Amino acid sequence: MKLTDLTLTELRDALRRGETSSVEATQAVLDRIDAVDPAVKSYLTLTPENALADAAAADKRRAAGDDSPLLGVPVGVKDIICTKGVQTTAGSKILEGFVPPYDAFVVEQLKKTGAVILGKTNTDEFAMGSSTENSAYMTTSNPWDVTRVPGGSSGGSAAAVSAQLGYAALGSDTGGSVRQPASFCGVVGIRPTYGRMSRWGVIAYASSLDQVGCFGRTVADTTAIFQATAGHDPHDSTSLSVAVPDYEAALTGDIKGLRVGVPKEYFVEGLNPETEKAVRAAIAQLADLGAEIVEISLPHTEYALPVYYLIAPAEASANLARYEGTRFGPRVTGDDMISTVKKTRALFGEEVQRRIMLGTYALSAGYYDAYYGRALKARTLIKNDFKKAFEQVDVIASPTTPTTAFKIGDKTDDPLSMYLNDIFTVSLNLSASCGLSVPCGFDAAGLPIGLQLIGDTLQEATILNAAYAYESATQFYKQTPNIKL
383 burial type by CB count under 10 A (0-12 exposed, 13-18 middle, 19+ buried): middle
Q: What pLDDT is stored for residue 97 in this prediction?
A: 93
Q: What is the model's pLDDT at position 380?
A: 98
Which pLDDT belongs to residue 308?
Answer: 97
Q: What's the pLDDT band for 341 if we cut at 50, 70, 90? A: confident
| Mean pLDDT score, 224-250 | 97
Q: Which domain range does residue 122 map to?
A: 3-258+466-478
The model's confidence at residue 335, banded by pLDDT at 50, 70 and 90, is: confident
Report yes or no: 413 and 433 within 8 Å, Cβ to Cβ.
Answer: no
Predicted local distance difference test score (pLDDT) of residue 121: 98
* Buried-state track 326-346, b at ≥16 Cβ within 10 A, e below 16: eeebebeeeeeeeebbeebbe
Strands 292-296 and 395-399 turn out to be: unpaired
Confidence of residue 325 (pLDDT cuts 50, 70, 90): confident
138 found inside a domain: yes
Q: Which residues pair with 172 in a beta bridge?
A: 212
In whole numbers, what is the pLDDT of the chain averaged over residues?
96
Structure confidence by residue, pLDDT tens digits, 383-431: 999 999 999 999 999 999 999 999 999 998 888 889 988 999 999 999 9
> Given a cut of 90, is residue 327 above it in pLDDT?
no
Confidence of residue 179 (pLDDT cuts 50, 70, 90): very high
Give percent helix, percent strand, percent coil of the chain, each to the nearest 5.
45, 15, 45
The amino acid sitting at 48 is P
Residues whose CB is less than 8 angstroms from the CB of residue 13 and which lie 6 or more positions away in sequence, other chains included: none
In a domain, 8, yes or no: yes
Q: Do residues 442 and 448 lie in contact, with contact meaning Cβ atoms separated by under 8 Å?
A: yes
Instruction: Kindly state whether residue 24 falls inside one of the protein's structural domains.
Output: yes
The reported pLDDT for the residue numbered 338 is 85
Would you say residue 139 lies in a domain? yes
Residues of the chain with pLDDT > 70: what percent? 100
CATH number at 227 reads 3.90.1300.10
- Cβ distance 177 to 184 under 8 Å? no
* Of 41, 78, 120, 411, catalytic: 78
Catalytic residue among 177, 198, 427, 437: 177
Give yes or no for residue 484 having a pLDDT over 80. no
In a domain, 165, yes or no: yes
Give the residue ranges of DSSP H helices in 41-67. Answer: 48-63
**Do residues 382 and 304 lie in contact, with contact meaning Cβ atoms separated by under 8 Å?**
yes
Q: What is the pLDDT of residue 359?
A: 96
Residue from 22, 131, 153, 198 carrying the catalytic annotation:
153
Residue 270 lies in a domain: no
pLDDT at 416: 84
| Per-residue CA distances from 39 to 99, 189, 196, 396, 441 (Å) | 27, 23, 35, 36, 24
User: Does the pLDDT at position 27 exceed 90?
Assistant: yes
Q: Is the pLDDT of residue 268 over 90?
A: no
- pLDDT at res. 38: 97
Asked if residue 366 has pLDDT above 90, the reply is: no
pLDDT at 330: 81
Catalytic residue check, 177: yes
Q: How far is 300 from 43, CA to CA, in rounded Å?
A: 38
What are the phi and psi torsion angles at 14 (to 5°)? -65, -40
Name the H helices within 393-459. 415-419, 426-430
pLDDT recorded at residue 365: 86
For residue 360, name the pLDDT band (cuts at 50, 70, 90).
very high
Band (pLDDT 50/70/90 cuts) for residue 40 is very high
Say yes or no to pLDDT of 329 above 80: no
Q: For helices 105-112 and 219-229, what crossing angle results, to 10°?
A: 110
Q: How confident is the model at residue 270 (pLDDT cuts 50, 70, 90)?
A: confident
78 is an active site residue: yes
Rounded CA separation 201/88 (Å): 11
Q: How many domains does the chain have?
A: 1
Assess whether 131 carries a catalytic annotation.
no
For residue 471, tell me if it sits in a domain: yes
Region 199-213: mean pLDDT is 98
pLDDT at residue 93 is higher than 90: yes
Q: Which of 86, 173, 77, 88 is nearest to 116 (CA)?
A: 77
| CA–CA dist 221, 11 (Å, integer) | 10
Q: Is the pLDDT of residue 74 over 90?
A: yes
pLDDT at 455: 98
